[in-house]
Structure 1
Amino acid sequence: MTKRPPLTLFGALRWDVVRRVLPPEPSRVLEIGCGQGAVGVRLAAAGHRYTGVELDATSAEVASGRLAAAGLEGGIVHGDAAELAPGDEFDVVCAFEVLEHLEDDAGALAQWVRLLRPGGLVLVSTPAWPARFGPMDAAVGHHRRYEPAQMRALLAGAGLTDVGGRLYGAPLGYALEAVRNQVARRRLEGDGTTTAERTARSGRLFQPGSAVGGAGVAVATWPFRVVQRALPRTGPALVAWGRTSRSA
């Protein structure tokens, strides 16, 4: 079995939702903002032809090393989607915890849609509920949080159909957010960094430092992953998706 990099606590909750939306057949997958590659290794290990793009050089280097160490095919591009080869097309474009960092979220989404083949899938995750915007959102460079209806409208406005989505993270996610907000108040918020610097560091925060830590996350989150499956309309975070038209 492929050695998989550890997920964060929130990442484990998210992956339990995301993996059920991804196509079961091997597909060409692009991950925008791949961070340190924890999801990328899982996608490649599942047989998908994987490409990740990441603005943060440190995270991109870690992600590339993790793919290589696992003996998996896949490429990591340091930069953004504009760095991809002209004419590149994908079956799936995913972006987990990315849209909230972008001032022009609609423009970015339109760019991602253009990278999809007919019938391709866009799959995103974001923090939910603007009223929950807190110190941690500010500390990691978020511009906003999303209402579920707002996200569906954003995806539809990009020309996607079969738009869907669900909330996740209840009940553990609420406790995790409370802890993160306390950390931000004490250590991160107002530390003089720019929005770009706060965005860059966001993918490095709260990462388990070892395989043992990752195993602990898997065990600790197991009951909460089971519980959240029964609560698709409750939670502090959102997974949403939509498809392009099947006609060229």
Structure 2
Amino acid sequence: MTATWSAARLRRSVVTCCGNWPRAVVTEAGVAPTHWGECEIRGPVHLFRERLLLRLFRRLLPAGKVLDAGCGSGSLALDLCRAGYAVEAVEDSAEFAALVGAKAQRFGVADRLRVQRASVTDLPFADGSFAGLLCGEVLEHIVPEAGGDEAAVREFYRVLQPGGICVASVPLNPRLWDHTDEWARHVKRYRRSEFIDLFASAGFVVERVRVWGFPLGRLYHRLLFAPWLARTAGQDLISREARADTRAGRSRILAEAVALFLRFDELFARFAWGRGIVLCARRVD
């Protein structure tokens, strides 16, 4: 059975409740694709990965002023606000920066979340501005002409205070490159050693590395996400969102269930077999 959704309805934010906190589910609908790829997918992998990032970040830095470097549509920045941090966010897309600002107003956190348009390779902040920095799935999009990922990580080091924490994630394993990377306009998928060296070369001390996405994450991608994208990549955003299989993937109940199921992969976090990697590093000087 197929439902007919109007463009106006899809462009409105679809909001559910996560505890006492409103969670945006399809707030990206109606925003045009950016130069770094199409809008993020609000599904179980996204949910699992951001919870992993936040969990690791909170263990290392329970409170303080933090930066979300490349905030996208703002889901992680809003979760940081919920956790009590004072949050600055930067985003290279003017549309997404405006969207995150509107979300901050809508959810009543504008006093704790400030967003501006800027590149992660040229951050508009003074040296030592932040106690912590999060960068989720951004570095793999930076083209050499923009300075590359090295320029971004040097900026991360500069704007952190001595002792400051950086938690970052990227796609792992070049052998897993497929049409979904091209759709997302990834420049690369990283090797584990390459990602560690990227931060060490900028002066960071790498304290922890976690791989995620094996075996269940890889199965989910191969059997569900990649085939869905192959079926829908040629459709416009509104048509894609109206599909029954897309709406099933947006279901809060299903997303929560699959995200919980994906935590099984944490048993294999030491091995470089997964689809993604999270690194925790510290500025020590």
TM-score by length of 2: 0.72
Report the AA paired with residue 39 of structure 1. L
5 Å matches for 1:60-139?
60-72=97-109, 73-81=112-120, 82=122, 84-87=124-127, 89-103=129-143, 104-139=148-183
Say whether 1:140 aligns with 2:214: no
Q: Which residue of 2 aligns with 1:44?
A: 81
Match of 1:56 in 2: 93
**Unaligned ranges ≥5, structure 2:** 1-19, 26-41, 236-245
CA distance in 2, matches of 1:183, 1:216: 16
- Describe the superposition over 1:160-202 as per-residue Cα deviations: whole angstroms up to 9, x where unpaired: 014421111233321343244445545548x9xxxxxxxxxxx
Residues 157 and 16 of structure 1: CA distance in aligned 2, closer, same or farther (over 3 Å): same
Q: Deviations over 1:52-75 (max 9, x none)?
A: 111122222222222222211211
Question: Partners of 1:94 and 1:64 in 2: how far apart?
Answer: 18
Q: Does 1:155 align with 2:199?
A: yes
Bigger radius of gyration among the two: 2
Aligned residue identity for 1:41: L
**Paired position in structure 2 for 1:167:** 211
TM-align CA RMSD: 2.5
Is structure 2 residue 22 aligned with structure 1 residue 3? yes
CA contact (8 A) 2:199 2:206 kept: no
**Comparing 32-41 with 16-25, which one deviates more in the overlay?**
16-25
Whether 1:18 and 2:53 are equivalent positions in the alignment is yes
Give 1:83 deviation, angstroms.
5.6
Cα distance in 2, alignment partners of residues 151 and 145 from structure 1: 10
Is this contact kept in 1: 2:123–2:155, CA < 8 A?
Answer: no
Distance 1:123 1:163 in 2: 10
Q: Percent identity?
A: 22
CA contact (8 A) 2:61 2:165 kept: no
Measured in 1, the distance between the counterparts of 2:22 and 2:229 equals 32
Q: How big is the shift at 1:238? A: 0.7
TM-score, length-normalised on structure 1?
0.81
Measure the CA separation in 1 of the matches of 2:229 and 2:266.
Answer: 29
Residues 24 and 90 of structure 1: CA distance in aligned 2, closer, same or farther (over 3 Å) = closer
Cα distance in structure 1, aligned partners of 2:151 and 2:74: 25
- How far the C-alpha of 1:209 sits from its partner, in A, is 7.2
Question: Equivalent residue of 2:211, what SS?
Answer: strand
Instruction: Give the number of equivalent residue pairs.
Output: 227
Alpha-carbon distance change, 46 to 139 in structure 1, aligned in 2, over 3 angstroms: same
State the match for 1:35 in structure 2.
72
Q: Deviations over 1:132-169 (max 9, x none)?
A: 11111112211111111111111111100144211112
Q: Once superposed, which parts of structure 1, at least 4 consecutive aligned residues long, lie more than 6 Å away?
A: none
Q: List alignment gaps of at least 5 residues for structure 1.
A: 192-207
